């Protein structure tokens, strides 16, 4: 198998292209996906390659983008609906939660809903309070929907292909500041597909378990480097999916490290860390030598001014501090 | 348009009486506590539902909101299994997991009843997109109440159907009230079909929704239009004889108003028409009426005797 270093953006593009080539029923719809080429340039060239039937520009209408994807999927197509940023998914909340996530259940399995909603998340770009959320955890609250949060090019490719091939609806969340990140990705295997709902140990260690995903991988990786200089070995577990949530590797790691820190960009109330802490207590309480610690954004809307925006977000130093508190 | 023959008329009549008796029985079962949740009866609107369904071609589709029992029966779903759904039984059409508002039959291209006002409009657009995408001559009739025309879904869905040229008949069942709010208190343009102009789609007719033949003819024409030329917005002017849902105190309308409409009962009108057209048809109609009573009794018996859902049912079909 040949591997090549590519960016997350390239990984996403190649996953989309391969799946559209594989299955005629797969098509893309959303704001600026066609003529513009995608606001993050993921679908650049797709309109020429696949035509306007399969690369469909929509008006700025998130309710009908999400809702018509549901109908098309129920009727047998496999839509990839792009919501430009996850902030706009709030507008489509009813279509996503009340319809996309539920039509399979409430009609007792008569319909399936193989929709992928691709969207971008994350703050840190001075976009102000309404454009800087990392709220993917909200969507993971609801049964019926999967939530993917890839943090590397390798994962982005294998997980997007998995999402497209799965018969369940998937909210596929990409981090807007990580699209240029590179990693080695198989390039000559059209069936390179990662499993749905599997977390991944990104860095082995024995002293503390850091549970994180996406942007948190970067803060945690930097923190782990700093901690290593002091002889502290952090194990970093990348959740990759917030639903299905695979915490088995976390429980196993806790039995070894006896300490857990959860790192994420979302807000502190009812966040990923809260769920992980509860489940670790339930499954591995006797192995804990310290309370589970959470590192997240501060409990404020994100401001415009860069210095206070960065103050509100996690960083490597905050992770280091949290780790030292549990050691 | 060719007038329907006697057999067709009798079949429509049978379906309308079936809906009426079914709904009356549902009201009783609700009062006995055997049906829970919300219950939205279709009584008074039967001509609209039966007129629409009778106009569908073989591969056309229909989708509606939560007042869906009439459509379920009109498309031919078995009253036994529909009633079992009402009673929350595992033999119900959605295994007891959907309830009154969520009836559907994929095999009959009935895409379901939906509980969020307007929430199914984009689904209709998506089903129609499938037809366009695969170049199939199929039309989606998307029924909605007048209340659904004021939620954002209406705007976004009609606009998308215009720019993507989707084969949808947007059919407003205008029964005069969105819950208790009269159309002219809720809509700047109470003549709802006029909104079609704003979306650049065909402004369809406002038809007498209490006249089964008129509904059938107008919807047939609308389907032909949608198939060839894309979306159309039309209204069926109807009236619900009962409250919005069970327990509606009906403070928003007078008894006189309700009485005026019940005098024009769509079932009575069709009955009168059939007797006018066909001498001696009265005995056919009476036979149908008796047969329906029996069908409903059997449906209730089947539903009452059916088992309730199990733990396995509770946790199945969360994911495919």
What pLDDT digit, counting tens, does each position of B250-283 carry? Answer: 999 999 999 999 999 999 999 999 999 999 999 9
Distances (CA, A) of A67 to A95, A124, A225, B114: 5, 30, 45, 13
- Residue A66 in this model has a pLDDT that exceeds 80: yes
- How would DSSP label each residue in A44-111? TTHHHHH-TTTEEE--S-HHHHHHHHHHHHHTT-EEEEEESSHHHHTTTHIIIIIIITTHHHHTTTS-
Q: Does B57 touch chain A (CB under 8 A)?
A: no
User: What's the confidence (pLDDT) of residue A139?
Assistant: 98
CB contact under 8 A, B152 and A144: no
Mark residue A224 as left, alpha or beta (left: phi above 0; alpha: psi -120 to 50; beta: remaining): alpha
Mean pLDDT of B140-155: 97
User: What's the confidence (pLDDT) of residue A188?
Assistant: 87
What per-residue string of b and e applies to A289-320 under the rule 16 or more CB within 10 Å gives b?
eeebbbbbbeeeebbeeeeebeebbbbbebbb
CB contact under 8 A, A107 and B157: no
Sequence-separated (6 or more) residues with CB below 8 Å from residue B32: none
Question: How far is it, in rounded angstroms, from Cα A100 to Cα A115?
Answer: 8
Nearest by CB: B126 against A59, A70, A112: A70
Residue A235: strand pairing partners:
A209
Q: Does B106 touch chain A (CB under 8 A)?
A: yes
Q: If DSSP codes are grouped into helix, strand and coil, which group holds residue B155? A: helix
Q: Does B316 touch chain A (CB under 8 A)?
A: yes
Nearest by CB: B160 against A64, A70, A114: A64
CB contact under 8 A, A64 and B122: yes
Radius of gyration from C-alpha coordinates of chain A: 20
Nearest by CB: A74 against B121, B127, B317: B127
* Tens digits of residue pLDDT in B65-99: 999 999 999 999 999 999 999 999 999 999 999 99
State which residue of chain B sits closest to A243, comparing Cα positions. Answer: B319
Sequence-separated (6 or more) residues with CB below 8 Å from residue A245: A140, A197, A239, A275
Q: Which 8-state DSSP code applies to residue B59?
A: T
User: What's the confidence (pLDDT) of residue B2?
Assistant: 75
Sequence-separated (6 or more) residues with CB below 8 Å from residue B242: B23, B27, B41, B43, B44, B248
Residues of chain A positioned with their CB less than 8 A from the CB of B130: 71-72, 75-77
- Residue B203 in this model has a pLDDT that exceeds 90: yes
In a 10 Å sphere around its CB, with 0-12 CB exposed, 13-18 middle and 19+ buried, how is residue B292 labelled? buried
Q: Does B309 touch chain A (CB under 8 A)?
A: no
* Tens digits of residue pLDDT in A254-309: 999 999 999 999 999 999 999 999 999 999 999 999 999 999 999 999 999 999 99
Residues of chain A positioned with their CB less than 8 A from the CB of B316: 109
Nearest by CB: B122 against A68, A77, A114: A68
CB contact under 8 A, A104 and B319: yes
Mean pLDDT of A75-83: 98
Nearest by CB: A167 against B116, B122, B320: B320
* Tens digits of residue pLDDT in B4-36: 999 999 999 999 999 999 999 999 999 999 999
Choose from A25, A64, A99, A243 for mutation: most chain B CBs within 10 A.
A64
Strands annotated E in chain B? 61-64, 110-113, 140-145, 168-174, 177-178, 181-182, 202-208, 232-237
User: What's the confidence (pLDDT) of residue A90?
Assistant: 97
- For residue B275, the number of C-alpha atoms closer than 13 Å in the C-beta half-sphere is 10
- Residue A310 in this model has a pLDDT that exceeds 90: yes
Contact A62, A85 (CB under 8 A): no
Residues of chain B positioned with their CB less than 8 A from the CB of A63: 122, 152-153, 156
Q: Does B130 touch chain A (CB under 8 A)?
A: yes
Residue A182: strand pairing partners:
A7
User: What's the confidence (pLDDT) of residue A235?
Assistant: 98
Q: Does B125 touch chain A (CB under 8 A)?
A: yes
- How would DSSP label each residue in A135-199? -HHHHTTSTT-EEE---SHHHHHHHHHHHHHSSS-EEEEEETT-TT-EEEEE-S-TT--PPTT--
User: What's the confidence (pLDDT) of residue A144?
Assistant: 98
Mark residue B70 as left, alpha or beta (left: phi above 0; alpha: psi -120 to 50; beta: remaining): alpha
Distances (CA, A) of A189 to A24, A179, A195: 19, 22, 15
Question: How far is it, in rounded angstroms, from Cα A128 to Cα B299?
Answer: 59
Q: Does A109 touch chain B (CB under 8 A)?
A: yes
Question: How far is it, in rounded angstroms, from Cα B164 to Cα B142?
Answer: 16
In a 10 Å sphere around its CB, with 0-12 CB exposed, 13-18 middle and 19+ buried, how is residue B188 labelled? exposed
Contact A37, A49 (CB under 8 A): no
Q: Does A107 touch chain B (CB under 8 A)?
A: yes
Q: Does A55 touch chain B (CB under 8 A)?
A: no
Contact B250, B34 (CB under 8 A): no
- Give me the helix-helix angle, B266-277 and B282-305, nearest 10°: 140
Question: How far is it, in rounded angstroms, from Cα A164 to Cα A169?
Answer: 9
Which residues of A are known catalytic residues?
62, 131
CB contact under 8 A, B130 and A111: no
Pairing of strands A241-243, A260-263: unpaired
Residue A55: strand pairing partners:
A28
Domains, chain A, with CATH or none: 3-186 (3.40.50.970), 200-326 (3.40.50.920)
User: What's the confidence (pLDDT) of residue A1?
Assistant: 76
Domains, chain B, with CATH or none: 6-315 (3.40.50.970)
Question: How far is it, in rounded angstroms, from Cα B318 to Cα B320?
Answer: 7
Distances (CA, A) of A186 to A2, A9, A217: 6, 15, 21
CB contact under 8 A, A109 and B320: yes
User: What's the confidence (pLDDT) of residue B3?
Assistant: 84
User: What's the confidence (pLDDT) of residue B251?
Assistant: 93
Mean pLDDT of A80-107: 98
Distances (CA, A) of B194 to A281, B3, B189: 61, 29, 7
Q: Does A168 touch chain B (CB under 8 A)?
A: yes
Number of helices followed by number of strands (H, E) in chain A: 13, 14
Q: Which 8-state DSSP code applies to residue B4?
A: P
> For residue A293, what are its two tokens?
């610690």
Q: Where residue A20 falls among pLDDT bands split at 50, 70, 90?
A: very high
Nearest by CB: B104 against A61, A110, A143: A110
């Amino acid at each position: 198998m040949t591997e090549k270093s590519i960016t997350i953006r390239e990984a996403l593009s190649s996953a989309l292209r391969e799946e559209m080539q594989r299955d005629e029923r797969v098509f893309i719809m959303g704001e600026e996906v066609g003529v513009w080429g995608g606001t993050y340039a993921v679908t650049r060239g797709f309109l020429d390659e696949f035509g306007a039937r399969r690369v469909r520009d929509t008006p700025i209408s998130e309710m009908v983008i999400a809702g018509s994807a549901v109908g098309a999927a129920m009727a047998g197509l496999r839509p990839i609906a792009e919501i430009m940023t996850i902030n706009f998914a709030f507008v489509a909340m009813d279509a996503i939660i009340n319809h996309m996530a539920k039509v399979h259940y409430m009609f007792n399995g008569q319909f399936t809903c193989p929709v992928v909603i691709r969207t971008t998340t994350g703050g840190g770009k001075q976009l102000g309070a309404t454009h800087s959320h990392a709220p993917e955890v909200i969507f993971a609250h609801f049964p019926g929907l999967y939530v993917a949060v890839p943090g590397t090019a390798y994962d982005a490719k294998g997980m997007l292909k998995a999402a497209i091939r799965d018969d369940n609806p998937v909210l596929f969340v990409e981090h807007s500041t990580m699209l240029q990140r590179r990693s080695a990705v198989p390039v000559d295997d059209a069936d390179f597909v990662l499993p749905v709902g599997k977390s991944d140990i990104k860095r082995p260690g024995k002293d503390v378990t850091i549970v994180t995903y996406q942007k948190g991988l970067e803060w945690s990786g930097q923190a782990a480097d700093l901690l290593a200089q002091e002889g502290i070995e952090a194990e970093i577990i990348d959740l990759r999916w917030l639903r299905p949530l695979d915490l088995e590797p976390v429980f196993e790691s806790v039995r070894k490290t006896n300490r857990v820190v959860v790192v994420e960009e979302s807000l502190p109330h009812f966040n990923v860390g809260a769920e992980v802490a509860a489940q670790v207590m339930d499954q591995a309480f006797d192995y804990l030598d310290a309370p589970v610690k959470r590192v997240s954004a501060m409990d404020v809307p994100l401001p415009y001014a860069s210095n206070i925006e960065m103050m509100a977000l996690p960083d490597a130093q905050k992770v280091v501090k949290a780790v030292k508190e549990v050691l | 348009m060719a007038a329907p023959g006697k057999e067709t008329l009798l079949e429509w009549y049978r379906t309308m009486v079936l809906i009426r008796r079914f709904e009356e029985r549902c009201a009783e079962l609700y009062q006995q506590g055997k049906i829970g949740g919300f219950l939205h009866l279709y009584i008074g609107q039967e001509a609209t539902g039966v007129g629409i369904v009778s106009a569908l071609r073989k591969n056309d589709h229909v989708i509606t909101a939560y007042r869906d029992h009439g459509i379920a029966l009109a498309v031919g779903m078995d009253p036994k299994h529909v009633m079992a759904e009402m009673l929350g039984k595992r033999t119900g059409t959605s295994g007891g997991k959907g309830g009154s508002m969520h009836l559907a039959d994929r095999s009959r291209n009935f895409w379901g009843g939906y509980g969020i006002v307007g929430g199914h409009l984009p689904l209709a657009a998506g089903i129609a997109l499938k037809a366009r995408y695969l170049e199939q001559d199929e039309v989606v009739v998307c029924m909605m109440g007048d209340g659904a025309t004021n939620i954002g879904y209406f705007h976004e869905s009609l606009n998308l159907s215009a720019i993507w040229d989707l084969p949808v008949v947007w059919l407003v069942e205008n029964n005069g009230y969105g819950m208790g709010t009269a159309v002219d208190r809720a809509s700047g343009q109470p003549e709802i079909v006029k909104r079609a102009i704003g979306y650049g789609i065909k402004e369809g007719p406002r038809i007498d929704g209490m006249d089964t033949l008129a509904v059938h003819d107008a919807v047939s024409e609308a389907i032909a239009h949608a198939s060839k030329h894309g979306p159309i917005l039309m209204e069926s002017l109807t009236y619900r004889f009962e409250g919005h849902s069970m327990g509606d105190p009906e403070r928003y309308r007078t008894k006189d108003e309700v009485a005026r409409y019940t005098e024009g009962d769509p079932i009575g009108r069709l009955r009168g028409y059939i007797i006018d057209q066909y001498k001696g048809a009265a005995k056919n109609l009476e036979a149908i009426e008796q047969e329906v009573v029996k069908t409903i009794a059997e449906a209730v018996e089947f539903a009452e005797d059916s088992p309730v859902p199990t733990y396995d049912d509770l946790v199945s079909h969360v994911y495919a």
